[in-house]
Chains A and B, each alone.
Chain A
Amino acid sequence: MDFRLGEKAAEVQREIRAFLKENFSEEDRKEAAEDGGGHNWDLYRKLAAEGWVSAGWPKGYGGGDRDPYENLTLYWELCKAGFPWIGLLNNGFIGHTLLAMGTDYHREHFVPKIAAGEIAFALGYSEPGSGSDVASARVTATPDGDEWLINGEKMWTTTAHTAQYVFMLTRTSTQDRPHRGLTMFLVPTDAEGVEVTPIHTMGGERSNGVSLSNVRIPDVNRVGEVDRGWSVVRFALGLEQAMGYADLQERFIQNAGKWSLETGPDGERPFDDPRIKEQLGQTAIHAEVSRLLRHRSTWITAEGKDLGGKGAMTKSFSGTSYLDDAQSWMDLVGPAGLLKEDEDGALADGNFDEAFRQTPVNTIYGGTVEILRSLVAEVELGLPKSR
């Protein structure tokens, strides 16, 4: 038994912390939070230049061949620091997918540019009305000679406004069951007929809607076989579910702990109140359990074994416990908890406000907690299908 991520992961931690110290100032962090888009080209190119976009790809394709523990550490450190890392996560994944499932053309035309940080992709799975039923996608791709015509609406296409392409799930057939008529395409965001409009969230994120009107795409931009796109999506969702938010939970509890040990304006330390201690203890345990579940997912992946329902466990627990804690803290700390970062009198650098606004979505996107619990019930407990 060994709970360490290992020396290579520790080295990544040192490197990323050094990178952040060098390149990511407190001002940058605030700017990223204000922007909410999850991607910053200047910072992204610097990471790409050091090989971090392609870190998880196989060496034969010019990747860094980093193991799952190193990748975990990379994302953990960036996320915890408030770095706009969504672009990095998506492109690391898409590059890897193109290497595994794409054509020679994709490997030659797109992959090197992704690795170099020259181009970026947004993920285009969700649509207005699709909700938890991702396979219900209605954006159509219709063959037209050597090309395809794409029509419809995508939603929650985060980073589409800064990306050159959307990795898009489309409907190519309605003949079979819904998930057997889906195909993936690489859709340029500057193509005629593509319109990107912002969606702003309570959590401060900026996402997008993407409308597609007779967008003409060459067949070489198709990824995988026609009508076989579902496996790509499932893989991507599985990856997301196995992560959760333990990094953010750790940041949150560290901020709460630090705040509680400082003497308040009334001359007392919050830490000395048993109610605060109780909540600190509970939040610390939640953060630790979330971290352990995520590490277990990573370990299972590194061992090349099937995650079963354990990826779903990771995200379900992390999402719900972080939300519970954010709400409990807000209820404990009184009106000053409402104040945003940098406002006069804000508590814990505004982290209570931020967590309260940001955590509700963690039990929704990337698989709602209801979808995840059904998966756990079926796969881990052997209960009948419940939907």
Chain B
Amino acid sequence: MDLSLDESQQILVDTFSEMLEKECPTTHVRECEDTGLSTSLWAQYCELGANVMGLPEAAGGLEMSLLELGLVATQSGQALAPVPFLEVATVGRLLAAIAPEDPLLGAIAEGQISASIALPRPNAVGGTRTTAGGRTLVPFGTVTDAVIALDGDTLYVAEGGDARRSGSLKNIGDFAIAHWDLDRSSNARVLATGDAATKAMARANAEWKMLAGFWLTGIAQRALAIGSDYARERIQFGVPIGGFQAIAHPLAECAIRVDGGELLCWEAAWADTEDSERFEMLSSMAFTWGAQTAIRTADIALHTHGGYGFSTEYDIQLFYRQARALSSIGGGAKEELQTVAELCFDRDGSGQAESLLGGC
């Protein structure tokens, strides 16, 4: 057993941490609230190879593992970086696996936000599966020109974004989301059909969920740090409020959950190559727990601030809103819990599969 990062992984963390500290202070996050995207920051990401980290060498990639992508996602979450790292990483790897010659992949390697993904939501609450007019809310749908989606057992690219996407939409997280009309009767290119299609999307969905789990863990870590700093500094009744159990214990409970969340993300990423049968289930768990933990932690940290936390002047409200927003982009924890149960107990639908609880 070894639960530590190796030297190159630590260097990767430090590199992104330093870059983000410089390039993405919360003042920059606020500057990007209108569009939900920082093109200058994304250029920095691409300079460090973030757009091709998880791609094979043949696609101009760095062949890094999902754990390494996850570490970048956690740093991004800590900084609330307004960049499409999750979507670009997921779409790039999907294309590299099933359509390595696709021009969208080449564009990703050049740093373009060439495509996003419409995540499948098999357990969505009835009436919420699509948005108005049968459309789908797509992350970074305001800036991308193509979206990869699954319809039945057909995996396709919906192209021609100008005719498909809505305008930008004001939203809780100040995210770059837009409605997309994913109709595939025109301007759609089939990538795969049948088993290959559903498997590729299941895989891409699991990767996005896992990476989002890392990102949410980063949001939770920074929210916890902000809340704890405040609890140490803020004086009430003559003492720091962190000395009151009513303040300290909820923060401690969050610290425990955040640590558990980080371990769960790491385990999911590690399982990709070392315990592959459990990868999809652990990814689903990592997203769900990341969402629950980030929302709870941002809430507790905000509450620790009293009324100040509620004012836009303080940063903690950014974390509260973004934790919620990223969780909802993935469908939300309640929806995903059902997927966790299916993947754990009934992954083949037979009702007979051995549960995937317990590791090796």
Whether a CB of chain A sits under 8 angstroms from the CB of B346 is: yes
Within 8 A of A (CB), among B262-284: 263-264, 266-267, 270-271, 274-275, 282
Convert A266-291 into 0s and 1s, putting 1 for each residue whose CB lies closer than 8 angstroms to a CB of B. Answer: 00010100101111111011011111
How far, in whole Å, are A2 and B5 apart by their CA atoms in the complex?
Answer: 10
Contacts of B339 in A (CB 8 A): 281
Whether a CB of chain B sits under 8 angstroms from the CB of A376 is: yes
Contacts of B2 in A (CB 8 A): 1-2, 299
Contact call A250/B357, Cβ cutoff below 8 A: yes
Q: Whole-angstrom distance from the CB of B48 to the nearest CB of chain A? A: 22
Contact call B344/A381, Cβ cutoff below 8 A: no
Closest to A263 in B: B351
Convert B342-360 into 0s and 1s, putting 1 for each residue whose CB lies closer than 8 angstroms to a CB of A. Answer: 1011100001100101111
How far, in whole Å, are A282 and B4 apart by their CA atoms in the complex?
Answer: 27
How far, in whole Å, are A143 and B250 apart by their CA atoms in the complex?
Answer: 46
Convert A5-25 into 0s and 1s, putting 1 for each residue whose CB lies closer than 8 angstroms to a CB of B. Answer: 110001000000000000000
Contact call A380/B285, Cβ cutoff below 8 A: no
Contact call B337/A383, Cβ cutoff below 8 A: no
Whether a CB of chain B sits under 8 angstroms from the CB of A164 is: no
Whether a CB of chain A sits under 8 angstroms from the CB of B237 is: no
Closest to A269 in B: B351
A261-B346, A289-B260, A292-B263 are known contacts. Are A6 and B1 too (CB-CB below 8 A)? yes
Contacts of A271 in B (CB 8 A): 341, 345-346, 351
Interface-located stretch among A144-152, A154-162, A185-193, A252-260: A252-260
Contact call B344/A257, Cβ cutoff below 8 A: yes
Whether a CB of chain B sits under 8 angstroms from the CB of A85 is: no
- Number of residues of chain A lying within 8 A (CB) of chain B: 57
Taking a contact as CB atoms closer than 8 A, the residue among A1, A281, A381 that contacts B6 in the complex is: A1
Closest to B259 in A: A313
A374-B245, A386-B245 are known contacts. Are A280 and B266 too (CB-CB below 8 A)? no
A291-B358, A293-B260, A299-B3 are known contacts. Are A278 and B345 too (CB-CB below 8 A)? no
Convert B46-82 into 0s and 1s, putting 1 for each residue whose CB lies closer than 8 angstroms to a CB of A. Answer: 0000000000000000000001000000000000000
Whether a CB of chain A sits under 8 angstroms from the CB of B239 is: yes
Whether a CB of chain A sits under 8 angstroms from the CB of B299 is: no
Whether a CB of chain B sits under 8 angstroms from the CB of A384 is: yes
Contacts of B270 in A (CB 8 A): 1-3
Contacts of A383 in B (CB 8 A): 228, 231-232, 240, 242-243, 247-248, 251-252
Contacts of B224 in A (CB 8 A): 381
How far, in whole Å, are A384 and B1 apart by their CA atoms in the complex?
Answer: 34
Closest to B239 in A: A384
Contacts of A254 in B (CB 8 A): 355, 357
Contact call B341/A284, Cβ cutoff below 8 A: yes
A277-B342, A313-B259, A383-B232 are known contacts. Are A285 and B289 too (CB-CB below 8 A)? yes
Convert B108-132 into 0s and 1s, putting 1 for each residue whose CB lies closer than 8 angstroms to a CB of A. Answer: 0000000000000001000000000
A4-B1, A284-B357, A386-B248 are known contacts. Are A292 and B243 too (CB-CB below 8 A)? no
Contact call A293/B263, Cβ cutoff below 8 A: yes
Whether a CB of chain A sits under 8 angstroms from the CB of B222 is: no
Contact call A292/B251, Cβ cutoff below 8 A: no
Contacts of A370 in B (CB 8 A): 245, 249
Contacts of B260 in A (CB 8 A): 289-290, 292-293, 313, 317
Whether a CB of chain B sits under 8 angstroms from the CB of A52 is: no
Contact call A277/B337, Cβ cutoff below 8 A: yes
Contact call A257/B249, Cβ cutoff below 8 A: no
Contact call B341/A1, Cβ cutoff below 8 A: no
Whether a CB of chain A sits under 8 angstroms from the CB of B257 is: yes
Contact call A285/B340, Cβ cutoff below 8 A: yes
Contacts of B271 in A (CB 8 A): 3
Contacts of A291 in B (CB 8 A): 358-359
Contact call B288/A285, Cβ cutoff below 8 A: yes
How far, in whole Å, are A70 and B282 apart by their CA atoms in the complex?
Answer: 25
Within 8 A of A (CB), among B215-235: 224, 228, 231-232
Closest to A246 in B: B358
Contacts of B239 in A (CB 8 A): 384
Q: Whole-angstrom distance from the CB of A380 to the nearest CB of chain B? A: 5
Within 8 A of A (CB), among B295-337: 334, 336-337
Q: Whole-angstrom distance from the CB of A7 to the nearest CB of chain B? A: 10
Whether a CB of chain A sits under 8 angstroms from the CB of B256 is: yes
Contact call B340/A284, Cβ cutoff below 8 A: yes
Within 8 A of B (CB), among A212-243: none
Q: Whole-angstrom distance from the CB of B40 to the nearest CB of chain A? A: 33
Whether a CB of chain B sits under 8 angstroms from the CB of A377 is: yes
A380-B255, A381-B252 are known contacts. Are A280 and B345 too (CB-CB below 8 A)? yes
A69-B1, A260-B345, A383-B251 are known contacts. Are A377 and B289 too (CB-CB below 8 A)? no
A3-B274, A383-B232 are known contacts. Are A295 and B245 too (CB-CB below 8 A)? no
Contact call B346/A381, Cβ cutoff below 8 A: no
Whether a CB of chain B sits under 8 angstroms from the CB of A296 is: yes
Whether a CB of chain B sits under 8 angstroms from the CB of A302 is: yes
Closest to B123 in A: A274
Contact call A281/B266, Cβ cutoff below 8 A: no
Contact call B357/A287, Cβ cutoff below 8 A: yes
Whether a CB of chain A sits under 8 angstroms from the CB of B338 is: yes
A4-B1, A250-B358, A281-B288 are known contacts. Are A377 and B264 too (CB-CB below 8 A)? no
Closest to A253 in B: B357
A292-B264, A383-B232 are known contacts. Are A278 and B1 too (CB-CB below 8 A)? no
Contacts of B274 in A (CB 8 A): 2-4
Contact call A3/B359, Cβ cutoff below 8 A: yes
Contact call A373/B360, Cβ cutoff below 8 A: no
Taking a contact as CB atoms closer than 8 A, the residue among A293, A377, A386 that contacts B259 in the complex is: A293
A3-B270, A4-B359, A5-B1 are known contacts. Are A281 and B337 too (CB-CB below 8 A)? yes
Can you list 27 A-B pairs, Cβ within 8 angstroms, ordered by A? A1-B67, A1-B266, A3-B266, A3-B267, A3-B274, A4-B1, A4-B274, A4-B359, A269-B351, A271-B346, A274-B123, A274-B338, A285-B337, A287-B357, A292-B263, A295-B1, A313-B260, A316-B256, A381-B224, A381-B242, A381-B251, A383-B240, A383-B242, A383-B243, A384-B240, A384-B242, A386-B245
The chain A residues found within 8 Å of chain B, CB to CB, are: 1-6, 10, 69, 250, 253-254, 257-258, 260-261, 269, 271, 274, 276-282, 284-285, 287-293, 295-296, 298-299, 302, 310, 313, 316-317, 320, 370, 373-374, 376-377, 380-387
Question: In the complex, given contacts A3-B267, A3-B274, A282-B340, what are 8 additional A-B residue pairs having Cβ atoms less than 8 angstroms apart?
Answer: A1-B5, A3-B1, A257-B344, A257-B345, A257-B355, A261-B346, A285-B337, A381-B248
Shortest 8 CB-CB contacts between residues of A and residues of B: A281-B337, A281-B340, A383-B242, A289-B260, A384-B243, A377-B248, A280-B341, A376-B252
